[in-house]
Homo-oligomer: A and B are copies of this chain.
């Protein structure tokens, strides 16, 4: 058994108390005060346990990977991943959480890939790097225990809630675009070759290559399964049966998605979060915090930007399903579109501003000695940002599609009880995504994307 697994013990409420007592870094966060200690499991997924730990002296959150350290063969591994995914979609109960303990954090036998490089390690690395680059929007890491695959971080106290839930509830967050554009501009710019020397870059790329298993999960569920018959694909049936089939028969779409998949697998453009949907963002009226970067690696920037924008578009198309006689959600839909527009435009503005501020720096993609005139610098930036925009639209659309006909759906639609109503909303989102993905290179501005959304929404 590899080193990383030797020290692993899955914790629950009781054993966690002992763990805290014996961990100075955690005691400090509680002001050494253990009287009145309260622990609550809040994990909403089936991949990790999340505990909120509070005492009168302080608080923190503990996130621990679920696994038993079992080493299994490749074929078993595939079966187990499938089963896990199935469980993820069929139930949210705690029992299921326990049942899935032995799941996909298990390396295939027969590779010499370092066994100590588990995903909690990469989540911690990314949280720290994101926190360094954008401290206002990322919880601090207080403690990391590698053998235990355990991270302690700042507790994002109520009224922080998961953004997706806020969007379903119809709540406006006035600073959302401002904050998310900040997070994306800073984390992506400063980990790209616009800021990095190629020496720093390749070193960081190599390190994050170790997070390959989570990349593979994305490759499968985002870029492959929705485009083929796959056991755990599902959709609102029978309403969308034809739509799902049409996706599997759409040659142009499949070619375009394959191009995006190759970009995802090959292009180390920046350190990306890797799972930047609205379920990885916690918000209040004046705070926006990005959590859960366990899929982080060096990949194409557009994958993060697209994840966020694409999930906003999903939220938009789900609104009709949440309308009732008190609230038709029309104003809220306009607000979502405004967020979409502002997020991209502010991102663009801030990213280019960072580029300008650092034009003479050690970033090696565009040397100041070569791009030695303002108009040339402008031309280079225009081309770069246009390509990035198209990538973002493409990845965003791919993320939309997989949430409707793939294995893992979003609460935005799942919480619409009526199947016909849900299917109607989903079909519009699907049609929009297909058009955006296939025609993305034609778009010159986010307002053109919004026109497409409005047009499909008005059908």
> Is A418 an interface position by the 8 A CB rule?
no
Shortest A225–chain B CB gap in Å is 9
**Which chain A residues in 201-219 approach chain B with CB under 8 Å?**
201-203, 205-207, 209-210, 212-213, 215-216, 219
Residues in chain B near residue A215, CB distance under 8 A = 198, 202
Question: Are A379 and B251 in contact, with the CB atoms below 8 A?
Answer: yes
A373 to B248, CA, bound (A): 12
Residues in chain B near residue A216, CB distance under 8 A = 198-199
A 223-246 to B, binary, CB cutoff 8 A, 1 in contact else 0: 010011100000000000000000
Residues in chain B near residue A207, CB distance under 8 A = 206
> Is A372 an interface position by the 8 A CB rule?
yes
> Is A370 an interface position by the 8 A CB rule?
yes
Shortest A346–chain B CB gap in Å is 24
> Is A385 an interface position by the 8 A CB rule?
no
> Is A150 an interface position by the 8 A CB rule?
no
Which residue of B193, B258, B367, B379 is within 8 Å of A370 (Cβ)? B258
> Is A132 an interface position by the 8 A CB rule?
no
A202 to B266, CA, bound (A): 9
**Which chain A residues in 267-314 approach chain B with CB under 8 Å?**
267-269
**Which chain A residues in 20-70 approach chain B with CB under 8 Å?**
none
Question: Are A367 and B228 in contact, with the CB atoms below 8 A?
Answer: yes
> Is A19 an interface position by the 8 A CB rule?
no
Known: A376-B251, A379-B251. A224 touches B258 (CB 8 A): no
Shortest A41–chain B CB gap in Å is 32
Question: Are A224 and B265 in contact, with the CB atoms below 8 A?
Answer: no
Shortest A78–chain B CB gap in Å is 12
Question: Are A254 and B376 in contact, with the CB atoms below 8 A?
Answer: yes
Question: Are B266 and A227 in contact, with the CB atoms below 8 A?
Answer: no
A291 to B364, CA, bound (A): 30
Shortest A328–chain B CB gap in Å is 40
A439 to B365, CA, bound (A): 22
> Is A259 an interface position by the 8 A CB rule?
yes
Question: Are A228 and B370 in contact, with the CB atoms below 8 A?
Answer: yes
Size range of the chain A interface in the assembly: 35 or more
Residues in chain B near residue A198, CB distance under 8 A = 212, 215-216, 219, 265
Residues in chain B near residue A179, CB distance under 8 A = none
Question: Are B209 and A203 in contact, with the CB atoms below 8 A?
Answer: yes
A266 to B201, CA, bound (A): 9
Residues in chain B near residue A113, CB distance under 8 A = 199, 203
Residues in chain B near residue A16, CB distance under 8 A = none
> Is A111 an interface position by the 8 A CB rule?
yes
A259 to B382, CA, bound (A): 13
> Is A366 an interface position by the 8 A CB rule?
yes
Residues in chain B near residue A367, CB distance under 8 A = 224, 228
Which residue of B203, B206, B365 is within 8 Å of A262 (Cβ)? B365
**Which chain A residues in 378-434 approach chain B with CB under 8 Å?**
379-380, 383
Shortest A105–chain B CB gap in Å is 15
A 179-209 to B, binary, CB cutoff 8 A, 1 in contact else 0: 0000000000000010000110111011101
Shortest A200–chain B CB gap in Å is 8
> Is A137 an interface position by the 8 A CB rule?
no
Residue of A199, A216, A371, A383 with highest tally of chain B CB at under 10 A: A199
Question: Are A206 and B201 in contact, with the CB atoms below 8 A?
Answer: no
Shortest A274–chain B CB gap in Å is 14
> Is A369 an interface position by the 8 A CB rule?
yes
Shortest A189–chain B CB gap in Å is 14
Question: Are B365 and A227 in contact, with the CB atoms below 8 A?
Answer: no
Residues in chain B near residue A219, CB distance under 8 A = 198, 364
> Is A255 an interface position by the 8 A CB rule?
yes
Question: Are A365 and B265 in contact, with the CB atoms below 8 A?
Answer: yes
Chain B residue, CB-CB nearest to A298: B266
> Is A4 an interface position by the 8 A CB rule?
no
> Is A71 an interface position by the 8 A CB rule?
no
Chain B residue, CB-CB nearest to A209: B206
A131 to B383, CA, bound (A): 40
Q: List 13 A-B contacts (CB under 8 A).
A: A111-B203, A193-B265, A198-B216, A198-B265, A203-B209, A206-B210, A224-B370, A255-B380, A258-B366, A261-B365, A266-B267, A267-B268, A268-B268
Q: Which 6 A-B pairs have the closest CB atoms?
A: A206-B209, A228-B369, A202-B212, A206-B206, A202-B209, A227-B370
